[in-house]
Structure 1
Amino acid sequence: MEKLKLFVEIHQLKEQGFKVAAIANKLGISRNTVYKFLEMSLEEAVVWANSLNSRKKKLDPYRDQILSWLKEYPDLSSSQVEDWLKEHHSGIQIGGSTVRLFVKDLREIYHIAKVPYVRDHEAVEELPMGQQGQVDWGEITVKNKEKKDVKLYFITFVLSHSRYKYVEWQGKPFTTRDTIRCHENAFIYFGGMPEELVYDQDHLITVSENAGDILLTSEFQAYKSQRKFRIYLCRKADPQSKGKIENVVKFVKRNFAKSRVFSNIDAWNEQSIAWLGRTGNHNVHNTTKKRPEEVHALEKQHLTPVSPLLSLESSHGSSITRIVCPDNIIKYRSNRYSVPLGTYRPKGCNKVYIETKDTELIIKASQQGEILARHTLSKGKGELIKSRQHSRDRSKGIHAYKETITRQFSDEEQATLFIQKLSEHYPRYIRDQLQIVQSTIHHFRQEIEEALDICIKDQLWSANDLRDVTLHLSRINESKEPQTLQFNNINQGNTPVIRATAHVRELDDYIKILGGVGQ
């Protein structure tokens, strides 16, 4: 019916004297559509409209899935639907117009409205290859698997000529050190560095801008001096200077992040890189009408080569620093590297200095101080690189603890046997078992020797059994001298005496309860 209604409107406007361009503009359709309908007769239009209802569409097999996405997330764009289809169905070959028309039909049939987002932009001249890159930060709140809100932060880079993009995410606000690390990762991803980078007036890299004299933070100044790229700071409310990166931030939020379920930051970054290869850098750019990945293959030759590893130990007196975590590791390039135990101090300064030489990471206590650790740099992500010299000899502390307890018994041979059995039966909880033994010795010094004999005789290999037997022996000893309880009779002057003796079980009864072999 909609197609037939459009057919009638086009012919009516034509009869009223409207030209083809005016009809297309008035009805919001293309001129080719106007020509196609004008060439049809009414009978042909009816047959054509009826054929549309029975004609199979390429995306019909995915209809239910796409419809469920639109119902759950009504503001999904057709380009995002296209990306999700490619993500969930590898190898699918579809065009953007096919998805766009299919999504449009579903919205009309099921009345799923979408509020359009419109923003004005001003065209700027294209820059030569390798001249400029743009950088900006963003943040977004997404849902995790438990439907709880998770706030994520990201930094984006784009090469101005090719529109080739890079994105990196983290679960906390960016620091200057994070920003420097992401710059290095972006240069590796791009295969080089542009001559100039464009930024907002961000506190992570700048202190102030005084009439064109840019004052950078000390860490970023040292980094810029070593990498030797130019910096251009945009004025506030000047989107024309960095419109490309603003579009990238919007693209990342709407096409990749929106409505995606968060699991963990490493998986999220992996999905982001996959999205860049599948959509962000693969799809034809709306302005250049080219694929960024194809243009980047040419622009890459005009980028300044950079070494894959960077040390900021320089003559500028600044270096890359890291904070030692409570588990005595530092984080560098998405990996964890160990430092000697005791390096972390709960109430002290935990800053260390790092330097890279070839494939080696050097960790120092101070800029020119002693070397705390040397590690081979890992090429992976999420790995723990740990030196055996930095590990605690866990057996040494337990061994000393065992000897301390053994020496407190008169029969050290019996005590050694009992402690050995504890280690065999409770290897994961041996420290807890030893603590119970030590506590029992402290509170029941007189009964502990006899209790040890009973436990060994009846093969009760547990510190809890030793404690219970000791406690029982202690109660027996207390009951050997009956306690006399006296009550004063207020009405009579005499003082009657009531003697009461506690009932004592036989020791064998307790052995049976404890589950020993003597039952």
Structure 2
Amino acid sequence: MLTQEEDVDAHALRRQGWTISAIARHLGRDRQTIRDYLNGKTVPGERRQAPDAFVPFLDYCRQRMADDPHLWATTLFDEVRELGYQGGYSTFTRALRRFEVRPHCEPCHGAKGRDVAVITHPPGEEIQFDWLELPTPPEQWGVGEHAHLLVGALSHSGRWRAQLAEREDFPHLVQALDQVVRKLGGTARRWRFDRMSTVCYPSSGQVTAAFAAVAKYYGVGVDICPPRRGNRKGVVEKMNHSAAQRWWRTVPDGLTVEQAQSGVDKLAARMDERRRTVTGAKVTVGELAAGEALLDIPALPFPAEMTVERMVTPQGLVQFEGNFYSVPPGLPGAKVRVVHRLGEDFLNIATISRAVIARHRKAVRGAGQTIRDAGHVVALERKVLESFSDRAPCKSKVRRPPSEAALAEAERLRGRQVTGSTAERVVIDLSHYAAVADRLRTVPPPKEEENKE
């Protein structure tokens, strides 16, 4: 391939009367190459493109995709290979994308491949909420395969806060919502959710009666996203991604729930320093959020009743929200239920059958305190002392023959074997059978007796 300079020189020398062979020797190129450039068959700076092996199969692929828009590319690749296609699979899929062979399917592409409107969010108008499932939490958390993080983001400024929860049921949702809005410093006038079953009926999008009471308590309106329109709450979705990648991905195994909560709180506060351009001026997310007029929230959370199952430790303690509470002795390893109504100062510990066995004043969440009832302490000490012994352990290598009582019991068992059942007491005397047999041999046959008469 000739450069632009070589192409210019070749054309100039040709106009001066040079032969193609002389020009080829002068430039150090092949004569056919010089001839192609002089004839305009080849353009300088552009390599000759080999024929696209996919083009002959383009119409067939378009027809197959029109018949079945969800046809796997691997299946279509197998078909064109049988028809003579020689390229590789990666080249084939690249050609499918280049020629846009697969038609657009609106139900399967919520936002991809279609126009997206820019949604304006007035200050203080909306908070977007969403659950983020966190896989493989530390085993000592005792939450199973997933931990749960409720993320709430102000749609206007992008400030977000989050709260870890044990489950995604209604009481935990209410508790996490209350914690998030308190961390944000207030609530917006409307809350936006996707179709989570604790907020609305997923099939219709109508708010449930239970959550309607929560919305009335906080004085807010509720907006439900249309089905399969996750981009409608794109602010909180982006925050979910940030929390998962910048915080959860680096959480070590030895971290407690309270330490992990502190970590996500620090990340959210640090992200308030992100820069935004508003009407040509550079501001931070924190400055934007400070200008949002948020509504005041009630002093206490909505009084939803929370019930969680726990296992009693050998010390007679039950763990709840980073604190330990005592129960009566004699229950190590037993499952109990901790019942707490949000906003109240006390909690109850009950058996699985709902019998209350302890009542304590609730400590501050994550304080690491141990709350013991005085009666439980005394009863536990008494139980431990009763089972305590100061005797030395018994020796194993000693001679201890059976006692008199044991020997008497053994004799009783032997007599029971002799006179046990009725069948065991029957004695068969074969002499009786022998006497009967002798009598039968001396009795004459019936025919002989008739002849004598």
Identity value in percent: 14
Equivalent pairs counted in the alignment come to: 281
The alpha-carbon deviation at position 175 of structure 1 amounts to 2.4
Q: Distance in 1 between matches of 2:159 and 2:245?
A: 18
- 2:266 maps to amino acid: A
C-alpha contact (below 8 Å) 1:323/1:351 kept by paired residues: yes
- 1:463 maps to amino acid: P
The change in CA–CA distance for 1:227 and 1:119 in structure 2 (over 3 A counts) is same
- 1:296 maps to amino acid: A
Higher alpha-carbon deviation: 342-351 or 199-208: 342-351
The equivalent residue for 2:219 is: 228
The equivalent residue for 2:374 is: 388
C-alpha contact (below 8 Å) 2:172/2:306 kept by paired residues: no
The change in CA–CA distance for 1:228 and 1:138 in structure 2 (over 3 A counts) is same
- 1:474 maps to amino acid: R
C-alpha contact (below 8 Å) 1:156/1:165 kept by paired residues: yes
The equivalent residue for 1:270 is: 262
Q: Does 1:154 align with 2:139?
A: no
- Bigger CA radius of gyration: 2
The change in CA–CA distance for 1:238 and 1:311 in structure 2 (over 3 A counts) is closer
- State the SS of the aligned residue for 2:346: strand
**Per-residue Cα deviation, 1:163-189 (whole angstroms, up to 9, x for no partner):** 11012335x652222221111110220
**Per-residue Cα deviation, 1:160-213 (whole angstroms, up to 9, x for no partner):** 12211012335x652222221111110220111111110000123223453x64
- State the SS of the aligned residue for 2:273: coil
- State the SS of the aligned residue for 1:168: strand
The alpha-carbon deviation at position 285 of structure 1 amounts to 4.2
Where does structure 1 lack aligned partners over 5 or more consecutive residues? 1-117, 313-318, 403-418, 423-436, 438-461, 479-519
Q: Distance in 1 between matches of 2:129 and 2:223?
A: 10
Where does structure 2 lack aligned partners over 5 or more consecutive residues? 1-110, 405-453
Q: Does 1:336 align with 2:323?
A: yes
Q: Does 1:134 align with 2:128?
A: yes
**Per-residue Cα deviation, 1:480-500 (whole angstroms, up to 9, x for no partner):** xxxxxxxxxxxxxxxxxxxxx
**Per-residue Cα deviation, 1:405-457 (whole angstroms, up to 9, x for no partner):** xxxxxxxxxxxxxx5xx3xxxxxxxxxxxxxx6xxxxxxxxxxxxxxxxxxxx
Q: Distance in 2 between matches of 1:131 and 1:386?
A: 46
- 2:131 maps to amino acid: W
The equivalent residue for 2:393 is: 463
Q: Distance in 2 between matches of 1:193 and 1:361?
A: 27
- State the SS of the aligned residue for 2:241: helix
The change in CA–CA distance for 1:387 and 1:296 in structure 2 (over 3 A counts) is farther
Q: Distance in 1 between matches of 2:346 and 2:188?
A: 27
Q: Distance in 2 between matches of 1:375 and 1:321?
A: 15
Q: Distance in 1 between matches of 2:236 and 2:398?
A: 77
Q: Distance in 1 between matches of 2:330 and 2:308?
A: 11
- 1:138 maps to amino acid: L
Aligned pairs (5 A) from 1:369-384: 372-375=358-361, 377-378=363-364, 380-384=366-370
Higher helix residue share: 1
Q: Distance in 1 between matches of 2:366 and 2:336?
A: 29
Q: Does 1:354 align with 2:333?
A: no
**Per-residue Cα deviation, 1:373-413 (whole angstroms, up to 9, x for no partner):** 241542654444333334363331244446xxxxxxxxxxx
**Per-residue Cα deviation, 1:116-172 (whole angstroms, up to 9, x for no partner):** xx9788353432222210001223446979xxx9754322110112211012335x6
The RMSD of aligned alpha carbons is 4.3
C-alpha contact (below 8 Å) 1:335/1:384 kept by paired residues: no
The change in CA–CA distance for 1:139 and 1:380 in structure 2 (over 3 A counts) is closer
Aligned pairs (5 A) from 1:42-191: 122-141=116-135, 151-169=146-164, 173-191=167-185
Q: Distance in 1 between matches of 2:375 and 2:161?
A: 38
The change in CA–CA distance for 1:340 and 1:401 in structure 2 (over 3 A counts) is closer
Q: Distance in 2 between matches of 1:344 and 1:395?
A: 14
Q: Distance in 2 between matches of 1:378 and 1:259?
A: 27
